[in-house]
Amino acid sequence: MSGWTHVASSTPLSLARSFAFGLLQAAVLLAVAPLLRGVIKKMKAAFQTRQGPPLLQGYYDLAKLLRKEPVRSETASWVFVAGPRIYFATAVAATMLVPVLFAGAPLEQAGGILVLVGLLALGRFTLAIASLDTGSPFGGMGGSREMTVAALAEPALMLGLFTVALWAGSLNLGDLVRTTAQRGPSGHPSELLAAAALFIVLLAEAGRVPVDNPATHLELTMIHEAMVLEYAGPDLALVEWASALKELLFMTLLVNLFLPLGLAASAAPGAIAVSGALYAGKVFFLAVAVTLVESTNAKLRFFRVPELMALSLGLGFLALAIRFL
């Protein structure tokens, strides 16, 4: 426990302690991620005056899937088996690079923004090639769609993150959050533009409505669901869990980069409680925003998605350009 106090003063933790802290943070986020999806589903249902599934449905589903035996196609090779595992592992590794409750990330010495983006890209890539492995047309179609969206979302994500990084003069997420927390709101328009760009990226990466519909299994429209259509049992559970974690990760990134208010500077229980409550509030606020977008917009036709991503990319470029004007 005493090791955590060093996080704020940015003295490097010992490697073992960093790992322990990182694993703990990943475990907490993994435990919370399905709840976030449940909350969004519940709020969406309330919009449609339905009752919706119970908040904990995500956990029941995961438990059920994990108990089942995996069913794999006869033609599936090791790539198919490795896909969900690497996807899950990269998502867990990515959470260790991101500051959540503390003004510092557990493994921040391991890398910053570029490693984070790279890890997420690696996970997506393995899942996409795994979807091609069985030779089913749906998997290939979903994989191709997912990569199309990702290729457009990734530069926008990088531009948004770089805009914030310019303020702190560092690509390290821990440094970044510490600087923004000390300085307070910058009072520069580029911050809002970058936040808007990253919000659109969040919608795309989480497979939310204007880009993808998480609730549908209609073959013609789905993107992520089509890619993982062949998976069953524990394999599917890993994919679902990692996707939920990724969504929470993006929300965490967004709230902590642009509103680092109240992040704990030490491991004192009081500071953690305050930071935890504020974090939950901020993520909930973002979840409400996502729900509003999902409930008031129709899913875009697939060929319109690049236009939305161009908008996000444009906002990112603008944020970066205005920074220098």
Q: Which is nearer to other proteins, 172 or 312 (CB)?
A: 312
DSSP, residue by residue, 138-149: HHHHHHHHHHHH
Q: Which is nearer to other proteins, 1 or 325 (CB)?
A: 325
Provide the minimum distance between the beta carbon of 250 and other proteins in the complex, in angstroms, as a whole number.
19
Provide the minimum distance between the beta carbon of 210 and other proteins in the complex, in angstroms, as a whole number.
9
Q: Which is nearer to other proteins, 42 or 208 (CB)?
A: 208
Provide the minimum distance between the beta carbon of 159 and other proteins in the complex, in angstroms, as a whole number.
12
- As a whole number of angstroms, the distance between CA 267 and CA 18 comes to 14
SS3 136: coil
Binding site for other proteins (CB under 8 A): 185, 187-193, 196, 304, 306-308, 310-311, 314-315, 317-318, 321-322, 325
Provide the minimum distance between the beta carbon of 318 and other proteins in the complex, in angstroms, as a whole number.
6
CA-nearest of 70, 62, 84 to 233 is 70
Provide the minimum distance between the beta carbon of 306 and other proteins in the complex, in angstroms, as a whole number.
7
Going by the DSSP 8-state scheme, the letter that residue 68 receives in this structure is S
Contact 209, 293 (CB under 8 A): yes
Give every CB contact of residue 279 below 8 A, 6+ residues apart in sequence.
Answer: 100, 101, 252, 255, 256, 262
Provide the minimum distance between the beta carbon of 152 and other proteins in the complex, in angstroms, as a whole number.
10
- As a whole number of angstroms, the distance between CA 125 and CA 144 comes to 11
Provide the minimum distance between the beta carbon of 254 and other proteins in the complex, in angstroms, as a whole number.
15
Q: Which is nearer to other proteins, 114 or 192 (CB)?
A: 192
Between the CA of residue 211 and those of 111, 124, 148, 202, 306, what are the distances in Å?
30, 16, 11, 10, 9
Q: Which is nearer to other proteins, 107 or 308 (CB)?
A: 308
Q: Which is nearer to other proteins, 140 or 210 (CB)?
A: 210
Tokens of 25: 């943070």
CA angle (21, 174, 317) in 5-degree steps: 140
Q: Which is nearer to other proteins, 152 or 229 (CB)?
A: 152
Contact 183, 164 (CB under 8 A): no
CA-nearest of 296, 147, 138 to 209 is 296
CA angle (80, 84, 89) in 5-degree steps: 135
Q: Which is nearer to other proteins, 141 or 200 (CB)?
A: 200
Tokens of 76: 């599936």
Provide the minimum distance between the beta carbon of 136 and other proteins in the complex, in angstroms, as a whole number.
33
Tokens of 301: 């036709």
- As a whole number of angstroms, the distance between CA 144 and CA 227 comes to 8
